[in-house]
């Protein structure tokens, strides 16, 4: 049997979801509890608690853990954790020791219950400076933190909903227990996770194939939570990635799956979080390319590479750091800064931002930018958008060549 990496900070996955019978009983009981409304980000975090994706956490962080994570990327007990996982409220009446029902703001569904162990205030600017390296509310992650309620409430959670992810996404949505079972059935022990919130263009394909050369397989792991305006919906991305995998990868080297989190766009810190919860999913490696989990110009292109060298912790899943990649006319193929000796004018820089720009502006996409099967799916999606539905994509730092 393959020897998969263990869950982070624990011998076993911590599954905080109740079984069907227990969940029904808890849901009925929750009707008498004070309701706390949760945002999309907190909703995704709760689903991750339920399926063990946030092992070893047992609920939302208290103030000591929050502060230690912000400043030192570790829980108070020393367990590595790079980003705060918190629940906020404006309710002045909630008291410590009280049980509450956590209700998702968009569906009015009760997702979990929690006994409040602590109610506290935080310095939101401190969190933003430490985690996002900016307090500019143009940054989508900063905007979310700054709009949080005035209190954080901590406590162990009992998750009573799957959030509708299995029903909406079918086999694409896989829990850590399911991906681990898949890897064991395939006989894989080394698996690289490829994080994506975009359809895969030629550079993404190149990164995955580099990983396949050294690992048993690659898990293409897509965000199924909310993204920022202008990002391509999960259903369209999935269809495009499926076309790529079926036509350009060796059979049984790729697992395409999805997870329930929103993007935080925290750049280097989020790269660490991605590696951490991919360890829970059974992955031994995390592919880290250019500007991993970044947004705008808030992070350097390889800050997410460097942060892995700055930490000394119990994170077992390791980064596969890959340099800037592009199409080179003189190489007649994909290459990177480490493999291509040619000049900038010979290179076609490929990025998700530029691809979205070309598609949204109905401009011609270079033939070496994206596979035709993928491009056909994306062009059909953009052709079906109304002008009011299109989000202006800016090409800061992206040249045509």
Q: Is 277 helix (H, G, I), strand (E, B) or coil?
A: helix
User: What one-character-per-residue DSSP string does 237-256 give?
Assistant: HHHHHHHHHHHHS-TTSEEE
- Asked if 197 is an active-site residue, the reply is yes
The span from the CA of 123 to the CA of 325, in Å, is 39
CB 52 within 8 A of CB 177: yes
Q: Is 44 helix (H, G, I), strand (E, B) or coil?
A: helix
The span from the CA of 214 to the CA of 127, in Å, is 37
| Cβ neighbour number for residue 45 with a 10 Å cutoff | 25
Cβ contacts of 329 within 8 Å, gap of 6 or more: 342, 346, 347, 348
CB 388 within 8 A of CB 262: no
Catalytic residue, chosen from 180, 197, 278, 347, is: 197
CB 79 within 8 A of CB 14: no
The span from the CA of 1 to the CA of 189, in Å, is 9
Token pair for residue 125?
A: 């600017």
Q: Is 165 helix (H, G, I), strand (E, B) or coil?
A: helix
The span from the CA of 386 to the CA of 366, in Å, is 24
- Asked if 136 is an active-site residue, the reply is no
| Cβ neighbour number for residue 390 with a 10 Å cutoff | 16
Give Cα separations from 335 to 302, 324, 375 (angstroms): 17, 9, 21
Catalytic residue, chosen from 68, 152, 198, 280, is: 198
The span from the CA of 302 to the CA of 305, in Å, is 5
The span from the CA of 302 to the CA of 293, in Å, is 11
Catalytic residues: 197-198
């Amino acid at each position: 049997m393959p020897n998969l990496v263990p869950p982070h900070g624990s011998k076993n996955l911590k599954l905080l979801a109740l079984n069907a019978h227990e969940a029904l009983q808890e849901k009925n009981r929750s009707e008498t509890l004070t309701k706390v409304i949760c945002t999309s980000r907190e909703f995704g975090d709760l689903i991750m608690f339920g399926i063990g994706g946030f092992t070893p956490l047992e609920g939302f962080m208290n103030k000591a853990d929050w502060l230690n994570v912000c400043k030192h990327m570790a829980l108070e007990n020393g367990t590595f954790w790079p980003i705060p996982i918190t629940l906020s409220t404006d309710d002045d009446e909630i008291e410590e020791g009280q049980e509450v029902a956590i209700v998702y703001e968009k569906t009015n569904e009760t997702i979990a219950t929690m006994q409040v162990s602590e109610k506290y205030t935080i310095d939101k600017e401190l969190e933003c400076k430490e985690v996002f390296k900016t307090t500019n509310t143009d940054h989508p992650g900063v905007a979310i933190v700054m709009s949080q309620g005035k209190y954080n409430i901590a406590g162990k959670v009992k998750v009573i909903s799957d959030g509708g992810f299995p029903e909406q996404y079918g086999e694409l949505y896989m829990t850590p227990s399911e991906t681990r079972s898949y890897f064991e059935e395939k006989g894989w022990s080394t698996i690289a996770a490829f994080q994506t919130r975009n359809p895969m263009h030629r550079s993404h394909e190149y990164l995955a194939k580099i990983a396949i050369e050294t690992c048993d397989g690659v898990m293409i792991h897509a965000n199924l939570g909310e993204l920022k305006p202008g990002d391509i919906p999960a259903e369209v991305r999935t269809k495009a990635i499926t076309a790529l995998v079926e036509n350009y990868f060796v059979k049984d080297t790729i697992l395409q799956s999805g997870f329930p989190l929103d993007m935080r766009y925290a750049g280097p810190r989020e790269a660490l979080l991605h590696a951490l919860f991919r360890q829970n999913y059974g992955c031994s490696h995390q592919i880290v390319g250019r500007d991993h989990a970044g947004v705008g110009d808030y992070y350097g292109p390889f800050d997410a590479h460097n942060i892995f060298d700055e930490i000394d912790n119990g994170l077992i899943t390791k980064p596969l750091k890959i340099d800037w990649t592009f199409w080179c006319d003189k190489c007649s193929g994909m290459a990177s800064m480490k493999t291509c000796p040619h000049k900038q004018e010979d290179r076609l820089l490929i990025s998700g931002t530029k691809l979205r720009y070309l598609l949204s502006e109905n401009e011609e996409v270079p033939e070496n930018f994206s596979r035709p099967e993928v491009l056909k799916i994306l062009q059909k999606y953009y052709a079906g958008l109304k002008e009011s539905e299109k989000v202006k994509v800016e090409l800061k730092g992206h040249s045509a060549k």
